[in-house]
């Protein structure tokens, strides 16, 4: 039998060998005569290794070469912290921290000599949004909440897991600009409906704002958020590439199937502070829900003029909340130039906005939500110390879902099933397991923010003030936040 099989195997091997050699020769000829790449013309075939290493290098670096605190946009230590809290395995370590307390910008919480004992600790109070100014004020219970990620940008499985997890943890889920999908409603969680520049989900056949659609959506959401800009791309609208515009995504958004979904860079019907306030009041009266604004801060004119206009027109025109997104935000697809260079980071934007609201005596009227790479409990406690009321994060919850920072969010090839509509890749995201990790992450972040508060001698997290945090200026020297950003006096 072997004498019969061996010649056949030999013949097949020979044919395959010749095919392989032929392919190499063809590739050699192609590379040496093509005119696009100098490397390939000079080093045919072997030059392709350079492109392979360039393409795959970013994936290998995060595992083999980058230190725990080196990688961007999120280092391994931060990702590992989220993973452990999402799996409910706790953030316990041994033998010391790798967090460099000499690095300028590092946060240090001022622990009390006599921290709060367990019997004296209080739960973090919830806050009402829109109380006294709308028909249905919204009671927000969680400090940490899920920032805007559109269905389309992320998968149905991811949205389902986020909705179920948010309901279990008691936090809200922001729809992102892609409209309200059935998957957002599945878990029965608190939903904030974002109105982006394309009006997806609340638009008519001509792309204009539809009052009828907004009233219909209002039955299922707790609040509306008018998005002026986001951290990934200030001055640029949302971008969803054609492969991700499936028939269902297209139907929810009201756009053609498998064509790039490109939102305008701003609302056509909101071109000034006055028009913004008009729109806020109109949507609030129409739906009975609180209405807020999301924006990246580029300078101080916008927030100053907003506060002046509110005092001129009346508190009923004020947004019920402001979501301040830092320029380091970035779960969505965006041009690298805007991602890298546009928009103030949250560390500079947040205190300036809060100070302006205090000076204008509007801080109690307008809730402040901080966003922009705030994924840990320390980030949340810092934001509360500055004056924020809540924290939004998108990428924190993506890590909780299993994101490995593959940097393919804008494509349709996410290996964890979070940002892809490929059924095979989506099967890796088991909703029944991942929603528990979403809930664990939110619950544990809230718990650790409270732990930091108790360490600082506070009964609950909403007692954080700027004097409870110091920021490293140079190695061995830090300054209290209330010295860097003194509390302003009310001028009105």
Polymer length in residues for the chain: 492
Q: Which residues pair with 323 in a beta bridge?
A: 294, 369
pLDDT higher for 61 or 310? 310
Q: Do residues 347 and 249 make contact, with C-beta atoms less than 8 angstroms apart?
A: no
Q: What is the pLDDT of residues 166-194, one digit of tens each?
A: 999 999 999 999 999 999 999 999 999 99
Q: For residues 408 and 386, give the distance between their C-alpha atoms in angstroms, rounded to a whole number.
A: 33
Residue 70 pLDDT greater than 60, yes or no: no
DSSP secondary structure letters along 6-46? HHHHHHHHHHHHHHHHHHHHHHHHHHHH-SS-HHHHHSTTT
Q: Do residues 311 and 213 make contact, with C-beta atoms less than 8 angstroms apart?
A: no
| Percent of the chain clearing pLDDT 70 (strictly above) | 91
Return the minimum-mean-pLDDT range out of 5-9, 147-151, 162-166, 204-208. Answer: 5-9
Residue 128 pLDDT greater than 60, yes or no: yes
| pLDDT at site 329 | 65
Q: Angle at which helices 346-359 and 377-386 pack, to 10 degrees?
A: 30
Report which DSSP code applies to 125: P
Name the CATH superfamily for 120-484: Aldolase class I (3.20.20.70)
Residue partners of 197: CB distance under 8 A and separation at least 6: 177, 227, 237, 238, 263, 264, 265, 266, 267, 268
Q: Do residues 270 and 196 make contact, with C-beta atoms less than 8 angstroms apart?
A: no
| pLDDT at site 235 | 66
Distances (CA, A) of 338 to 4, 234, 236, 347, 364: 67, 7, 8, 18, 33
- Nearest by Cα to 44 from 59, 29, 65: 29
* Highest mean pLDDT of the ranges 41-55, 193-207, 242-256: 193-207
Q: Tell me the average pLDDT across 100-105.
A: 86
Q: For residues 204 and 211, give the distance between their C-alpha atoms in angstroms, rounded to a whole number.
A: 9
Q: What is the pLDDT of residues 296-312, one digit of tens each?
A: 998 889 999 999 999 99
Residue partners of 341: CB distance under 8 A and separation at least 6: none
Q: Do residues 369 and 380 make contact, with C-beta atoms less than 8 angstroms apart?
A: no
Q: For residues 195 and 289, give the distance between their C-alpha atoms in angstroms, rounded to a whole number.
A: 13
| pLDDT at site 1 | 46
Sign of CA dihedral 385, 389, 394, 396: positive
Residue 347 pLDDT greater than 60, yes or no: yes
Report which DSSP code applies to 87: T
Rg (CA), the chain: 26
Q: Tell me the average pLDDT across 441-446.
A: 96
Return the minimum-mean-pLDDT range out of 73-77, 205-209, 319-323, 345-349. Answer: 73-77
Residue 264 pLDDT grade (very low, low, confident, very high; cuts 50, 70, 90): confident
Half-sphere exposure of 20 (CA within 13 A, CB side): 6
Q: What is the pLDDT of residues 367-395, one digit of tens each?
A: 999 998 899 999 999 999 999 999 999 99
Q: For residues 192 and 394, give the distance between their C-alpha atoms in angstroms, rounded to a whole number.
A: 14
Q: Tell me the average pLDDT across 454-466.
A: 96
pLDDT higher for 456 or 93? 456
- CA torsion 330-331-336-338 (nearest 10°) is -40
Distances (CA, A) of 416 to 119, 174, 342, 440: 43, 21, 29, 19
Distances (CA, A) of 181 to 205, 253, 418, 478: 18, 9, 16, 47
Helix (H, G, I), strand (E, B) or coil at 442: helix
Residue 253 pLDDT greater than 50, yes or no: yes
| pLDDT at site 427 | 83
Residue 4 pLDDT greater than 60, yes or no: no
Continuous segment of H or E residues that includes residue 473: strand 469-474
Q: Tell me the average pLDDT across 221-240.
A: 82
Peptide bond into 73 cis (omega under 30): yes
Chain mean pLDDT for the chain = 88
Q: Angle at which helices 431-455 and 377-386 pack, to 10 degrees?
A: 50
Domain extents in the chain: 2-65, 120-484
> Phi/psi of residue 73, each to 5°?
-75, -20
| pLDDT at site 62 | 61
pLDDT higher for 306 or 26? 306
Q: For residues 469 and 379, give the distance between their C-alpha atoms in angstroms, rounded to a whole number.
A: 11
DSSP secondary structure letters along 231-253? TT-TT---EE-GGG--HHHHHHH
Q: Could you tell me the pTM of the whole model?
A: 0.86
């Amino acid at each position: 039998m072997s004498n019969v099989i061996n010649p056949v195997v030999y013949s097949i091997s020979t044919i395959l060998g010749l095919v392989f050699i032929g392919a190499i020769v063809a590739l050699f000829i192609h590379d040496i005569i093509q005119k696009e790449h100098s490397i390939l013309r000079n080093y045919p075939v072997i030059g392709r290794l350079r492109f392979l290493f360039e393409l795959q290098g970013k994936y290998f670096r995060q595992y083999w070469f980058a230190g725990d605190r080196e990688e961007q946009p999120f280092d391994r230590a931060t990702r590992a912290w989220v993973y452990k809290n999402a799996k409910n395995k706790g953030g316990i370590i041994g033998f010391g921290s790798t967090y460099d307390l000499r690095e300028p910008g590092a946060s240090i919480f001022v622990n009390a000599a006599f921290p709060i004992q367990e019997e004296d600790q209080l739960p973090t109070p919830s806050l009402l949004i829109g109380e006294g100014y709308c028909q249905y004020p919204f009671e927000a219970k969680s400090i940490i909440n899920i920032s805007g990620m559109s269905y389309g940008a992320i998968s149905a499985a991811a949205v389902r897991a986020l909705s179920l997890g948010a309901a279990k943890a008691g936090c809200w889920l922001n729809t992102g600009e892609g409209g309200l999908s059935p998957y957002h409603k599945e878990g029965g969680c608190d939903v904030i409906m974002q109105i982006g520049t394309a009006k997806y989900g609340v638009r008519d056949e001509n792309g204009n704002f539809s009052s009828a659609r907004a009233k219909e959506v209002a039955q299922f959401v707790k609040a509306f958020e008018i998005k002026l800009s986001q951290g990934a791309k200030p001055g640029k609208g949302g971008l969803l590439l054609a492969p991700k515009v499936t028939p269902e995504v297209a139907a929810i958004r009201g756009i053609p199937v498998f064509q790039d979904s490109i939102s305008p860079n701003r609302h056509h019907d909101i071109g000034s502070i006055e028009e913004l306030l008009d729109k806020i009041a109109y949507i609030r009266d129409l739906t009975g829900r609180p209405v807020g604004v999301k924006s990246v801060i580029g300078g101080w004119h916008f927030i100053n003029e907003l506060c002046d206009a509110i005092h001129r027109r009346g508190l009923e025109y004020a947004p019920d909340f402001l979501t301040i997104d830092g320029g380091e935000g970035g779960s969505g697809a965006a041009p690298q130039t805007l991602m890298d260079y546009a928009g103030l980071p949250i560390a500079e934007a947040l205190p300036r906005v809060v100070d302006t609201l205090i000076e204008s005596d509007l801080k109690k009227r307008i809730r402040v939500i901080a966003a922009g790479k705030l994924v840990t409990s320390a980030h949340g406690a810092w934001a509360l110390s500055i004056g924020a009321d809540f924290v939004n994060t998108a990428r924190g919850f993506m890590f909780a879902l299993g994101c490995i920072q593959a940097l393919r969010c804008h494509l349709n090839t996410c290996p964890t099933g979070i940002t892809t509509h490929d059924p095979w890749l989506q099967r890796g995201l088991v909703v029944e397991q991942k929603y528990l990790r979403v809930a664990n992450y939110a619950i544990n972040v809230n718990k650790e923010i409270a732990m930091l508060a108790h360490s600082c001698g506070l009964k609950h997290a909403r007692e954080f003030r700027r004097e409870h945090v110091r920021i490293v200026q140079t190695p061995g020297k830090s300054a209290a936040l209330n010295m860097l950003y003194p509390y302003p006096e009310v001028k009105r």
